[in-house]
């Protein structure tokens, strides 16, 4: 059961869970605003991780979650100036760019999230412990499986976590770590590409499936 240092040649399955779709307790939800991480240089490794604050009140399940790597879908509400934003960059933020959401309470902190369209991407993430809090508080960081034209700190992000990939491991060197993460990404892509795992709402650059991902793209607080 205890997995310590791995040999990189150990075969790992690329498809996890049945084709029929996610099973309880999944999907698990999480949402927040992308914050600065621990400065571990994940971007330099080619694996940037968008860190989310862990709010025990809105994610009660996380206290007992197994530490390790998970996969699922992330949605991001990128502001219009961002190169990957779905919101037309040619129109100013408050123009009539056919968003028919209610326009009340302009000073509400939800305003940005409700006026900017959420776009769905596949992701792998780790749930662990935050070194800033002497490893007593959970941490969550998400590697989005997409090549972005710019960073997206402060962007609203939602997660539907659909499955567990593996436990945390100790590595003898950086190469073994990067190789394992590369496989995690492959596992996520392949497992998520099945019809019953793919949101009916559509994925950036991908097909539509039958999985209900409405929560990822909903506007407002429904």
Q: How far does CA 8 lie from the centroid of its chain? A: 26
* Residue 94 CA neighbour count, 13 Å, CB half: 4
Our finding on whether 213 is near Mg ion (CB under 5 A) is: no
Catalytic residue from among 141, 168, 221, 222:
141
Our finding on whether 178 is near ligand ADP (CB under 6 A) is: no
Residue partners of 189: CB distance under 8 A and separation at least 6:
122, 145
Per CB under 6 A, the segment of 1-9, 10-18, 43-51, 63-71 that binds ligand ADP is 43-51
Among residues 27, 30, 31, 49, the one that binds Mg ion under rule CB under 5 A: 49
Our finding on whether 50 is near ligand ADP (CB under 6 A) is: yes
**Residue 75 contacts residue 121 (beta carbons within 8 Å):** yes
Calpha distance 122→204 (Å, rounded): 9
Among residues 20, 133, 153, 212, the one that binds ligand ADP under rule CB under 6 A: 153
Calpha distance 87→99 (Å, rounded): 10
For the chain, what is the radius of gyration of the CA atoms?
18
Our finding on whether 32 is near Mg ion (CB under 5 A) is: no
Instruction: Judge residue 184's burial from the number of C-beta atoms within 10 Å of its C-beta, 0-12 exposed, 13-18 middle, 19 or more buried.
Output: buried
Question: Least distance in Å: CB of 53 to Mg ion?
Answer: 12
Our finding on whether 146 is near ligand ADP (CB under 6 A) is: yes
Which residue has its beta carbon closest to Mg ion? 37
Site string for ligand ADP, 8-37 (x = CB under 6 A): --------------------------x-xx
Closer to Mg ion by CB, 49 or 85: give it: 49
How many residues are recorded in the chain?
222
Our finding on whether 130 is near Mg ion (CB under 5 A) is: no
Name the residues annotated as catalytic. 141
């Amino acid at each position: 059961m205890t997995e310590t240092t791995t040999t990189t040649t150990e075969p790992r399955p690329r498809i996890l869970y049945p084709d029929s779709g996610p099973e309880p307790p999944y999907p698990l939800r999480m949402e927040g605003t992308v914050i600065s991480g621990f400065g571990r240089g994940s971007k330099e490794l080619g694996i940037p991780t968008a860190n989310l604050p862990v709010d025990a009140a809105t994610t009660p399940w996380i206290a007992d979650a197994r530490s390790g790597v998970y996969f699922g879908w992330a949605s991001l509400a990128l502001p219009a100036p961002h190169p990957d934003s779905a919101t037309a960059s040619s129109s100013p933020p408050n123009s009539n760019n056919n968003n028919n959401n209610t326009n009340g309470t302009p000073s509400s902190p939800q305003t940005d999230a409700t006026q900017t369209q959420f776009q769905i991407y596949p992701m792998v993430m780790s749930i662990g412990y935050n070194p800033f809090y002497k490893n007593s508080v959970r941490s969550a960081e998400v590697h989005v499986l997409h090549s972005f034209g710019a960073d997206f700190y402060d962007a609203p992000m939602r997660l539907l976590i659909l499955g567990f990939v593996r436990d945390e491991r100790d590595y003898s060197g950086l190469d073994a770590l990067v190789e394992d993460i590369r496989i995690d990404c492959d596992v996520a892509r392949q497992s998520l590409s099945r019809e019953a795992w793919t949101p009916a709402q559509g994925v950036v650059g991908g097909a539509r499936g039958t999985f209900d991902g409405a929560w990822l793209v909903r506007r407002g607080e429904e």
